[in-house]
Amino acid sequence: MFNQDKKNIISKENKKNPLISLVNNFLLQYFKMVLIGFTILTLLLGYFFVLKPKYTQIKKDVALTNENTKNTSDNLKNYLLALNKYIKDYEKVESGVQEKISKVLPVGSNKESMYVLIEQIAKNENLFLTSLEITDSSIKAKTSEKNKDVSGVPGELGIISIDLSFMGGGYTNLKSLLNVLEQNLQIMDVRSINFNPSNSAISLSLDTYYLKTN
């Protein structure tokens, strides 16, 4: 009785609004097709607005990674070719000249040899060495800046900083000392000079360089 009344009510409403009746009949008759169409539409929208942009971005990232890898590989190949050429050219040089080249820019830190060199210079110039401090500024700079190279020189070069003081020398001794340092085969840059003629004290701060091994 209740269902019959409900059908009568729906029938009356449908008669009042033919459009609603048409829509209801269409949905009842083609419900499965509408559901399938809605599902396909949802999948298409998801593909074009979600999956496709992500896929395009992934393709770009992969292409960029491949390009960077190729550039890195090319740079390494060029570096290797240049290094091999340098080795071949170096091997052609006479042993005496090779030794001079090594003195100009030694391979690896040479702090120990610098002690011997400075003491020998002081002896030759009749100066009394009162203090000598030699530090690897490259290691110190990297440690203080969390392994960032802040030395201001190319990354392949290391820096040995030397602070030294002499007694017993006048202006002539200072001039001779600077001349010896300038003529020394190993590159040396004087950072500061202090000369006190009243007590014949000479203080120098200088840098020398070496080729890093890694």
pLDDT, average across residues 53-82: 81
pLDDT band, residue 85 (cuts 50/70/90): confident
Closest CA to 203 of 131, 135, 134, 136: 131
Whether the per-residue pLDDT at 193 is higher than 80: the answer is: yes
This prediction has a pTM of 0.47
The Cα–Cα gap between 51 and 40 comes to 15
Place of tokens 């017993």: 168
Per-residue pLDDT, 165: 93
Q: Write the DSSP assignment of 133-190 as a string of letters.
A: EEEEHHHHHHHHTTS---SSS-TTEEEEEEEEEEES--HHHHHHHHHHHHHSSS-EEE
Cβ neighbourhood burial of 182 (10 Å; 0-12, 13-18, 19+):
exposed
* Domain boundaries along the sequence of the chain: 1-92, 104-211
Per-residue pLDDT, 17: 62
The Cα–Cα gap between 110 and 118 comes to 13
Non-local (6+) Cβ contacts of 207 within 8 A are: 137, 159, 160, 161, 162, 188, 189, 191
- Residues 86-145: tens digit of each pLDDT: 667 666 666 665 566 666 667 677 788 888 888 998 899 889 999 999 888 765 444 444
Pick the CATH number of 104-211 from 3.10.28.10, 3.40.50.920, 3.30.70.60, 1.10.510.10: 3.30.70.60
Are the C-beta atoms of residues 126 and 170 closer than 8 Å to each other?
no
Are the C-beta atoms of residues 195 and 174 closer than 8 Å to each other?
yes
| Percent of the chain residues topping a pLDDT of 90 | 8
Whether the per-residue pLDDT at 57 is higher than 60: the answer is: yes
The Cα–Cα gap between 150 and 139 comes to 10
